[in-house]
A and B are shown apart, each in its own frame.
Chain A
Amino acid sequence: EPEVTQTPSHQVTQMGQEVILRCVPISNHLYFYWYRQILGQKVEFLVSFYNNEISEKSEIFDDQFSVERPDGSNFTLKIRSTKLEDSAMYFCATKDQRSTDTQYFGPGTRLTVL
Chain B
Amino acid sequence: GESVGLHLPTLSVQEGDNSIINCAYSNSASDYFIWYKQESGKGPQFIIDIRSNMDKRQGQRVTVLLNKTVKHLSLQIAATQPGDSAVYFCAETRGGSYIPTFGRGTSLIVHP
Contact = CB atoms under 8 A, between A and B. Distances in A.
Given A42-B105, A101-B34, A48 B42 contact: no
B42 A43 contact: no
B104 A41 contact: yes
Interface stretch (B54-62, B75-83, B93-101): B93-101
Contacts of B46: 102-104
Which secondary structure dominates chain B's binding surface?
loop
Residue among B44, B93, B97, B100 with the most chain A CB within 10 A? B44
Contacts of A48: 98-99
A104 B34 CA distance: 12
Contact of B89 (A42, A98, A103): A42
Contacts of B88: none
A38 to B, nearest CB: 10
Interface of B: 5-6, 8, 32, 34, 41-46, 49, 89, 93, 97-105
20 contacts: A39-B6, A40-B8, A42-B104, A43-B44, A43-B89, A43-B102, A45-B99, A48-B98, A56-B97, A56-B99, A91-B44, A101-B93, A101-B98, A102-B34, A102-B46, A103-B100, A104-B46, A106-B43, A107-B42, A108-B43
